[in-house]
Chains A and B, each alone.
Chain A
Amino acid sequence: MATGQSRASRLVLPVSERDHIQGPPDAPLALVEYGDYECPYCGLAHPIVKDVRRRLGRRLRFAFRHFPLAEMHPHALRAAEAAEAAGAQDKFWEMHGLLYQNQQALDDPDLLSYAAALSLDVPRFVSELADRTWEARVREDFMTGVRSGVNGTPTFFVNGIRHDGPWDADSLIEALSVVAPVHA
């Protein structure tokens, strides 16, 4: 029936090798964040995710996917492309952290300074940004989010199910253990 009173939104694209993952790929618990580098709420979520990862250790794999709200956040798409360009040089998470620590400074010269700070091949980074090499990848993340029911930023998926509750560390850890209890 077409009318639903409630529907659990699920991750349509499972976490796989295409993703940027922290933690063991076969960890029993999975947290996926759809985020935007210019979104202040995602900035608040960044240290929370770190805390969750620290507390759950190797029981958790965390994946980050891009969901730039580009109409509202003019730097968000570019910053996401910069993270992917850094990822092409194996520095995705380092750039990810720098972007969240510097959410007020996401203009192109800022992005270049972060690339330099990470000792990236800066000419390659610059040309990939100029060529929009990573735009399609970022938009693919965005569309998988839309199809999975992402409804703002940040949106978390706990073991594949959209998490609609509060996202402080305790709440996320509780949800991770409730949605799929750890059998160990």
Chain B
Amino acid sequence: MILKPGTPAPAFTLNSTPDQTVSLADFRGQPLILAFYPADWSPVCGDQVTLYNEILPQFRQHNAALIGISVDGAWCHQAFAAARRLHFPLLADFEPKGAMAKNYGAYRPKEGVCERALFVIDHQGTIHWSYLSPIGVNPGADGILEALESLPASARTA
């Protein structure tokens, strides 16, 4: 069961590249979108992260930051992000495997991958919206945009 709105977002610090880390606290004061997804290199055009990469300007209109999370390692993320020309960080929930996803209720122990789960965290670190998609269905971005629009205006300004 993924974490529900109103829950404080569990803290995390994970590698975004082999030598850089990203923490929840880095985003205090602005909305943060977390997109958990099963794996890098899904073989379709416009997979989830590719789609969100195109929609980044719309997210930024709400002063929101976006990060993707999967259990792939930082080197894998680096190659994937370069190949897809991604302009947002991918976090490696790699060791201990799936620890962040488990804290958010977004881990599939049987397959050993993250769920397709989305969270919008407000400027104070509280989960404002969450959504669990069927694993095979890319959820798109409409739910994220609606969630950002439903944040109070004070939560969107830095």
Contact = CB atoms under 8 A, between A and B. Distances in A.
A3 interface: yes
A149 B142 contact: yes
Interface stretch (A48-56, A110-118, A150-158): A150-158
Contacts of A3: 2, 4-5, 129-132
A7 B133 CA distance: 9
B79 interface: no
Chain A: interface size category: 20 to 34
B58 interface: yes
B138 interface: yes
B56 to A, nearest CB: 9
A39 B46 contact: yes
Given A6-B134, A146-B141, A146-B145, A152 B47 contact: yes
B45 A41 contact: yes
Contact of B130 (A2, A70, A72): A2
Given A3-B2, A69-B54, A151-B140, A41 B44 contact: yes
Most chain-A Cβ atoms within 10 A of its Cβ — which of B48, B85, B142?
B142
Interface residues of B, number: 34
B5 A2 contact: yes
A90 B145 CA distance: 35
B140 A150 contact: yes
A17 interface: no
B89 interface: no
A36 B46 CA distance: 10
B128 interface: yes
Given A72-B85, A152-B51, A162-B140, 12 more contacts: A3-B4, A3-B129, A9-B142, A71-B54, A71-B87, A72-B53, A149-B139, A151-B137, A151-B140, A151-B141, A152-B46, A152-B138
13 contacts: A4-B143, A12-B142, A41-B45, A42-B45, A69-B51, A71-B53, A71-B54, A72-B46, A72-B85, A146-B145, A149-B140, A151-B46, A151-B141
Interface of B: 2, 4-5, 44-48, 50-51, 53-55, 58, 84-85, 87, 128-134, 137-143, 145, 147, 150
